[in-house]
Structure 1
Amino acid sequence: MKDSVIRTLALAALVVLPTLTVVAVADDVRSFEQTVLPFFETHCFDCHDQNTQEGDFRLDNLQLDFHAIHTAERWDEVIGRINSGEMPPPDQSRPSAAEIEQVVDWIGRKIKEGEHSRMSQRSSVAFYRLSREEYSHSIFDLLGVHYDTAAPGRMTADPEWKGFERIGSLLSLSPSHVEKYLVAAREILDIAYPQTLANSRTWKKDAIDIDWPNRGRRVVFQEQGIEDQVRTLIWPGHRMSYVEPAHGGYVMPPGIYRAKLRLSGLPSKEGRPPHVAIYCQQLDRMIFEQDVIAPELQPVTLEFETYLEGKITMSVTNEVPGPSNSGRAGRPSGQHVFTTLDHPLSRAPWQRKMTDEDGNALYPFLIFDSIEWEGPIVDETSLAKQTRFLPPDERAIDDVRESLSRFASLAWRRPAKPDEIDRYLSVVNSELQAGTSPRDAFKMGMLGILASQNFYYLREGVPGQHRETLTSWELASRLSHFLWSSMPDAELIAAAEQGSLHEPATLKSQLRRMLADPKIDRFCDSFPRQWLQLAKVGMFPPDEKLYPDYDPWLEKSMVLESTLFFAEVFRRNLSIREFLHSDWTMVNPRLATHYELPPPGDAGFQRVMLNKQSHRGGLLTQASVLSLTSDGTRHRPVHRGIWVSEVIFGRTPNPPPANIDAIEPNPVDQPRATIRMKLAAHTVHAQCAACHRKIDPLGFAFDNYDAVGRWRTEEFVQHGQGKHPTVDASGELPNGQTFDGPDQFKQLLLNHSNQFALAFVEKLATYALRRPMTIDDREAIHAIVIASQKEGFRLQNILEHFVLSDLFLKR
């Protein structure tokens, strides 16, 4: 066995290595035979050779080519399993501390020796295509144009890797992308520089306008003297049209429109508030929605802004479950028209009741008064962004060249070279010779600059030059796209031009300025959404029969709780330990109902304090995380365990073996059994037990939460006989630590904050550097964590240590 293993390892190494390294490999084989092989033979090969391969992990065929990153990472995994006590298993003979130290030291040294070779294998230049989100933000910051890349027919969704949508190796470029970039550039420039400027207009629609049975009765209401008293009652689930600014055939000039919506909102007796939602058919999404809490006679005015263009149709809905007011039993009809709840003409005696004897609303009602639109809004800031690029004299070639150069330098995030500008200047000249107007000819030059790969690709490095450090321009771009998902601003560009951005004092000053800028809201939304994989929320819509209270607003509120929770930790510069457990969270009335918390006083999201009975606190017990790891009908402990392993511990478990049967529904003639009981059947198989032993406890900790994140003490089992079984949320971690329930589990996590900090910094680096981290980044990540630990792992401090680190400053 010994000779066979040595020959296999040596041969595998020699096959892949150049001749000059053969001697080094021979030395590695000899040292391996003396140091590591005896350890493997005694403690490892019984479970991890060609015959057993427990956990789909073999040691007998590991190569000694530490210059290859995939090999080095496999050896690094061996170190991790030995150091954690996971290998050898607790029921096997244990090696001494000296034996472990000797083996781990040998593997660690070999990994380190191969680092320079692995680093030199990186390409001399790296290209990173802008994500949809970054493209949209860059266009706005450059030209003041709101361009919705996610609108139907525009740009396709970005591929993701473990939640991240900006991984460079995945954001490839196809011919369809090039075509869409060209179309987008034309649309954007036409919006920024229209043939004629649109005048801002104001439209107002009252309750009579949107209520089609009453639209023809305005004269009657005028004669009755009640025209200004008519209001429209919107029952739960009912949709009403005609809330767009003008009729559907009117072409809205592109721009930002401001809306003022006046209405009342009456919660039901149970406390559920009504929810106003305005849907735009052309955009295929809600452009505004909010819970509404306002007494009948004290309506509120809600303001919002949205981008509109072209022919627009909209509808307004009370997006809560309940009886629609369709039909004679609901909406006022005949001689009746709604004015107030107690007015005799508002309802017929035989129609469905709206209130109880004490005047409390039986359902969450909206009472609509009016919607007023204004636009397109003349935004002086956006106008200044656009006019700054226009040449003083559009017929003077020197002015045109200077303007094109200025535009290209900002759009490309680096100084444009004269020969590059010459190409676009020739386009302008060709258009002028063809009789095109000077303004349109100049736009053609701008079009070429926007449709160039220099705009939609971030580039780091120069072909043929192997350098480790970023230039000032590359650093400015990396920093702005990390924090703002967009191009550098004027101050950052000035620092790059002066060459001072690499100086720690300058970099720290710029960082703190950027963290205080309103554009940091983009980071506070984008990073947690990708880090926590929140795009998966709602991927498996919950079964309506099992979860009748689940609705789209609850789903959106779940995601908003997590992103706003992250933003609150950032804004107050709290410790990232708050992500593991906290005595507060962010809720709106919808989530408060879902969590069975006291209703907040306002309709929006608020920071609320939690008590122990709420069973909440931190990210792990938020409904977003608990639902994204479920399948719509039941919770999935294994998937919850995998999520915790990846997000909290930074470890991705091995994929399951092939041909493993899924967990079947409970038979109707058998006693009801929890999913945990059924999972026990998987762990009796050796090929499953190794992984389930590590993953399952991480998911069992949250068995008290159902598929949509509600607390429970019994697990509802749809089929079977007998009582619903009691939840068992206890478990034992691979290191022997035990817990009983989510609170104790979160306390164990708090006791190992360093491990979470390592995983958090790794995810932060993946987002910022647009690539997965490797073992060659491990040392830098550790250094950031150690520096941050002294300051209590405060979020903004972690960001500062990261940006000032070699990991961020080098390619």
Structure 2
Amino acid sequence: MKRPVICAALLASLLASAFAVTSAATAENTRSFEQVVLPFIQEHCLDCHDASTQQGDFRLDTLPTVFNSAHIAERWDEVIGRINAGEMPPPNNDQPTAEEIETVAEWISGKIKEGEHARMARRASVAFYRLSREEYANTIEDLLGVHYDAAAPGRMNADPQWKGFERIGSELSLSPSHVEKYLAASRSILDTAYPASVPQSQTWTKDALDIDWPNRGKRDVLQEQGILDDVRTLIWPGHRLSYVEPAHQNYSMPPGIYRAKLTISGLPSKEGRAPHVTIYSPQLDRIIFEHDVIAPENAPAVFEFMTYLEGKVSMKINNEVPGPSNSGIAGRPTGQRVFTTFDNPLSRSPWQRKMTDEEGNALYPVLIFDSIQWEGPIVEAESMAKRKRFAPPAQPTLASVRDLVRRFARAAWRRPPTKQEVDRYLYLIGTELKKGASTQEACKLGMLGILASQNFYYLREGDAGQNRAVINDWELASRLSYFLWSSAPDETLFKAAEDGTLHQPATLKTQLARMFADPKIARFEESFPKQWLQLQKVGMFPPDQKLYPDYDPWLEKSMVLETTSFFAEVFKNNLPITEFLDSDWTMLNPRLAAHYGLPIPASTGFHRVSLPPDSHRGGLLTQASILSMTSDGTRHRPVHRGIWVSDVILGKTPSPPPANIDAIEPNPVDEPRATIRMKLAAHTIHAQCAACHRKIDPLGFAFDNYDAVGRWRTEEFVQHGIGENPPVDASGELPDGRPFQGPEDFKALMLDDAQPFANAFVEKLATYALRRPMTIDDRDAITAIARRSEPGGYQLQDIIRHFVESDLFLKR
């Protein structure tokens, strides 16, 4: 019964100690640990946290009291947090008085604050952050106008992740294989930008017969019949057809960007499912193009897209939707007939499956292919201008080559090079010229050294031998550009850094507004939500096709695209981040609308749509991407959903589970069907599990109405057992005692007190931007940024602006 009083007293004590405004706090901290804290711990804590019990793998009897260690300070801060949350001591134990808690919390908080300067002083004078492969590719494209597919087979390895973030400096180590790949990449990039001979752009066209292999040799016959120009190729659901690549697969495509123009019709099924075209290259191991297609038989759509190609490539076109079969008897092309129109009786054999009903509506989603035209390699004017900036001089002089090296190193290294650095590469170029190399090849060798240098693929902050508290303007330019553009600064940022004005508030505000409006901001709109929300996990556990037969790769991609499109919409319109908790709209395409049971948009692509009140959607928490990645492919996982909400939305990472905890077994065939929630109840019986599950489980139970692929339900399907499927129980109680009856109630509670989410969001934003986990020493700054954004309703662009203007962003 004393808990509310205790919590209030503890909060007051934390505020007082954090700002050190009372002489009483100063006097209290002159007393020793043995006088203030140890008696409290011995009486109230060691029953659960000594050598014999170690509940939650947390020991207090051996926890050091040296607060100049960040790790130790974090552990003591956790002690305060657990006391404040009512976890220590457990409610059924004897409770300390409010005065005792106030005294202990004040002493620990004061010592943590005292140790902050020592912890900051122990940091290295120089910090290095390796570029992620995404950032590497973007930087090359913005520097030289060369598209480099860093994720292609045999190129750069996937970056290690920390809680979804792919740019954490401590995780991105450097190995000899990395150095070799950087060197190989630099050679390839420079050869593409400055080739020995410029490849000529060509045009190729593949028509319907080129991909209809049973009939491709019948052109003369079809010409005699007068129907050659009318021939089209039907692409039945699940049918893959080859030969849509520009040239024969044994032809080596010059590296570069190629433009394609695909002419195709798409007839949705009677149920509204649109056909989905994909073009896949096995050599590149990626889908080059994909799109839902809704276009009448007599009015085909034309899709234009651009892609990077290199070397020998083959491609397959596919209608990637489920269907009854892709055999000849079902519907795919055979050598007996050629397709022209559905109403032409000669287009299909009588024994083949019907494609349309009596009214001419397609019974299955089908594609009708006309042609694909390729052009390339092409170099757009913008890319050519980037390359011309650093083109080797036609009539080289020492001054012109020096200027080239200086300018290229400045752009690549994101800072002015020293005279000694420039001289080193001048010597290398001069040596090659003496050996008889051409000016271009000699200069490319010098540029190769600059690109292969760690100065290019590492961001560096600080100076050796100095312990600067803040970053300089050149470092600030890079921090800004890699935060918002995932790439190097442009010339405008470089100029502000060179002038020494970038750190000035007015300049910073102007540059930020300019960067928001730049097309490169789309990289942030896609990259940040993927890393913040850990969307890389979507599809990690593919759903069981027997349980979820409608699940397909396009649905999986659409789930992620809904979430990233939703984030982009909030950013573009500077909406409040509370829209992430709940909203009356979302971003939908036809595939996802069908999955949610919502009206299907008339056109393809993602559109902002208003949600009906009974849609059970709104915000991020009820999007299929989030709900599916916290499932295991067969069933939802409330604990994993709760952990995700705790970590990503509330910024509280739960402790790992104890070892040797049994997994939840499938329901026995001879017992009544039971929900996962019923089975989880057993975990709360064990003392070692109960404390954490009381906090985690309700956060996941709130979303029990959604199955493993994010569909709404009122009953939980249980594969085995006796009786009916049990009803879903999505009720619960938050750790602070507030009850809820389902996801709508839960989201309403989150909105009632949005400050914890705002703090967590700022923390994730800072982790992404600063390339490091946040620590206890960053907490006050994070809270201040969130509070500064509160009067405006936590609008997203405003939060970013306040963050960039804060000391947290500007300090090392």
CA drift of 1:391 comes to 4.2
Greater Cα offset, 451-460 or 332-341:
332-341
Q: Is the 8 A contact 2:340 2:347 kept in 1?
A: yes
Task: Check 1:38–1:159 CA distance in 2 against 1; reply closer, same or farther (3 A cut).
Answer: same
Residue 672 of structure 2 is matched in structure 1 by 671
Residue 256 of structure 1 is matched in structure 2 by 257
Per-residue deviation, residues 605-658 of structure 1 (Å, max 9, x unmatched)? 111111232111111111111111111111111111110110011111111111
Residue 744 of structure 2 is matched in structure 1 by 743
Greater Cα offset, 320-329 or 757-766:
320-329
Residue 398 of structure 1 is matched in structure 2 by 399
Residue 515 of structure 1 is matched in structure 2 by 516
Q: Report matched runs for 1:89-488 at 5 Å.
A: 89-333=90-334, 335-488=336-489
Q: Is the 8 A contact 1:234 1:367 kept in 2?
A: yes
Task: Check 1:28–1:64 CA distance in 2 against 1; reply closer, same or farther (3 A cut).
Answer: farther
Residue 493 of structure 1 is matched in structure 2 by 494
Q: Is the 8 A contact 1:700 1:730 kept in 2?
A: yes
Secondary structure of the equivalent of 2:253? strand
Secondary structure of the equivalent of 1:725? coil
Cα RMSD of the aligned pairs, angstroms, is 1.6
Per-residue deviation, residues 157-193 of structure 1 (Å, max 9, x unmatched)? 1000000000001111100000000000000000000
Residue 811 of structure 2 is matched in structure 1 by 810
CA drift of 1:329 comes to 4.1
CA drift of 1:29 comes to 9.0
Secondary structure of the equivalent of 2:204? strand
Aligned residue type for 2:533: L
Greater Cα offset, 92-101 or 184-193:
92-101
Secondary structure of the equivalent of 1:683? helix
Distance 1:727 1:205 in 2: 54
CA drift of 1:227 comes to 1.4
Q: TM-score, normalised by structure 2?
A: 0.95
Distance 2:374 2:333 in 1: 27
Greater Cα offset, 76-85 or 742-751:
76-85
Distance 1:335 1:559 in 2: 42
Q: Is the 8 A contact 1:276 1:291 kept in 2?
A: yes
Residue 16 of structure 2 is matched in structure 1 by none
Q: TM-score, normalised by structure 1?
A: 0.95
Distance 2:797 2:192 in 1: 38
Structure 2: runs of 5+ lacking an equivalent:
1-26
Q: Report matched runs for 1:474-623 at 5 Å.
A: 474-623=475-624
Per-residue deviation, residues 282-321 of structure 1 (Å, max 9, x unmatched)? 1111011011111111211111111111111111000001
Aligned residue type for 1:747: A
Q: Report matched runs for 1:655-666 at 5 Å.
A: 655-666=656-667
Per-residue deviation, residues 432-472 of structure 1 (Å, max 9, x unmatched)? 11111111111000000000000001100111111111011
Secondary structure of the equivalent of 2:306? strand
Q: Is the 8 A contact 1:86 1:735 kept in 2?
A: no
Secondary structure of the equivalent of 1:345? helix
Q: Is the 8 A contact 2:253 2:311 kept in 1?
A: yes
Distance 1:394 1:226 in 2: 60
Distance 2:676 2:738 in 1: 23
CA drift of 1:213 comes to 1.2
Count of residues paired in the alignment: 787
Distance 2:540 2:76 in 1: 36
Task: Check 1:379–1:310 CA distance in 2 against 1; reply closer, same or farther (3 A cut).
Answer: same
Residue 771 of structure 1 is matched in structure 2 by 772
Secondary structure of the equivalent of 1:618? coil
Distance 1:148 1:362 in 2: 40
Distance 1:91 1:566 in 2: 44
Distance 2:682 2:305 in 1: 54
Q: Is the 8 A contact 2:215 2:335 kept in 1?
A: no
CA drift of 1:393 comes to 4.2
Residue 33 of structure 2 is matched in structure 1 by 32
Distance 1:35 1:792 in 2: 42
Aligned residue type for 1:449: I
Distance 1:183 1:332 in 2: 45
CA drift of 1:95 comes to 4.0
Q: Is the 8 A contact 1:54 1:690 kept in 2?
A: no
Task: Check 1:543–1:701 CA distance in 2 against 1; reply closer, same or farther (3 A cut).
Answer: same
Residue 23 of structure 1 is matched in structure 2 by none
Residue 19 of structure 2 is matched in structure 1 by none
Aligned residue type for 2:644: W
Structure 1: runs of 5+ lacking an equivalent:
1-25
Secondary structure of the equivalent of 2:614? helix
Distance 1:113 1:297 in 2: 76
Secondary structure of the equivalent of 2:215? helix
Residue 19 of structure 1 is matched in structure 2 by none
Q: Is the 8 A contact 1:56 1:687 kept in 2?
A: no
Distance 1:567 1:208 in 2: 41
Distance 2:695 2:330 in 1: 58
Identical positions, percent: 73
1:731 aligns to 2:756 (yes or no): no
Per-residue deviation, residues 554-580 of structure 1 (Å, max 9, x unmatched)? 111111111111000000000000001
CA drift of 1:384 comes to 1.1
Q: Is the 8 A contact 1:335 1:345 kept in 2?
A: no
Secondary structure of the equivalent of 1:321? coil
Distance 1:100 1:792 in 2: 35
Q: Is the 8 A contact 2:233 2:333 kept in 1?
A: no
Q: Is the 8 A contact 1:332 1:348 kept in 2?
A: no
Aligned residue type for 2:127: A
Q: Is the 8 A contact 1:394 1:439 kept in 2?
A: no
CA drift of 1:108 comes to 1.3
Residue 63 of structure 2 is matched in structure 1 by 62
Q: Is the 8 A contact 2:394 2:439 kept in 1?
A: no
Secondary structure of the equivalent of 1:213? coil
Residue 682 of structure 2 is matched in structure 1 by 681
Distance 1:334 1:107 in 2: 82
Distance 1:228 1:387 in 2: 45
Greater Cα offset, 102-111 or 148-157:
102-111
Greater Cα offset, 476-485 or 342-351:
342-351
Per-residue deviation, residues 189-216 of structure 1 (Å, max 9, x unmatched)? 0000011112222211111111111111
Per-residue deviation, residues 76-104 of structure 1 (Å, max 9, x unmatched)? 11222222333333444444444333322
Distance 1:614 1:59 in 2: 49
Q: Is the 8 A contact 2:212 2:333 kept in 1?
A: no
CA drift of 1:536 comes to 0.6
